[in-house]
Amino acid sequence: MRHISAEEHQDLQRTFQGELGSKPQSYVLEDRYREAPQAASGKSAPARNHEFARVGERLDRTTFGQTTNELSSTLLSKVYGLLAFSMLFTAVGVFAGLQLDPVWSLMIFFAQLGLIFAINANREQPCWNLVLLYAFCFATGLLLGPLVAAFVVSGHQTVLLQALAATAVITGGMVVIGLRMEANL
């Protein structure tokens, strides 16, 4: 970690307090710590100070979060759409897992662990991240299938229905709270 001088510290304080002119705060750090152009003498420009770049990026994100207290409806619809499709793939996996022998559970469990690492490695890949997410949800359903079958065979269908109803109520309640809450959590 690099120590900053008192002058740089004061500049950063003024930047965060918005006292450096009429520019938005996120642009102030970009202007102050931009790479200097090459000098006429042929010397190379000093390297950009990455510590201040990270501060500027954090400032961009926090300023955005503070000025926009409500999420756009398109973002919420995408999130809820992904949630609905994830639940659908899990339900399909449960129905497929009803026919599965419980011996496969250990292999499915290790496949799920592998899928977690694959999702993390490919989270920025536009197509693969969703394919891996839905594969993970399907594998989760496969893992739950023998458990659901055991409850049905033992005559405890009401427990399953109560769990389904509780999940639906809690998820629906959280959606309503998320849509109604005005505070930025």
User: What pLDDT digit, counting tens, does each position of 35-93 carry?
Assistant: 444 444 555 544 444 444 444 444 444 444 444 445 566 777 788 889 889 999 999 99
Residues 83 and 157 grouped into a single domain: yes
Q: Residues with Cβ < 8 Å from 142, sequence gap 6 or more?
A: 93, 94, 96, 97, 100, 104, 108
Which structure tokens are listed for 154?
């033992």
Residues 119 and 52 grouped into a single domain: no
Instruction: Decide: pTM greater than 0.75.
Output: no
Residues 60 and 82 grouped into a single domain: no
The pLDDT value given to residue 39: 45
Question: Is there a contact between 48 and 33 (Cβ–Cβ < 8 Å)?
Answer: yes
CA distance 136 to 123: 13
Residue 81 inside a domain? The answer is yes
Residue 185 inside a domain? The answer is no
Nearest 5°: phi and psi at 120? -65, -40
Residues 81 and 158 grouped into a single domain: yes
Residue 90 inside a domain? The answer is yes
Residues 53 and 132 grouped into a single domain: no
Residues 112 and 78 grouped into a single domain: yes
The residue from 18, 37, 67 where one domain ends is 67
pLDDT at residue 133 tops 90 = yes
Residues 21 and 95 grouped into a single domain: no
Overall number of domains in the chain? 2
Please report, to the nearest 10 degrees, the dihedral formed by the alpha carbons of residues 9, 13, 19, 21 taken in order: 50
Domain span including residue 19: 6-67
Residues 122 and 138 grouped into a single domain: yes
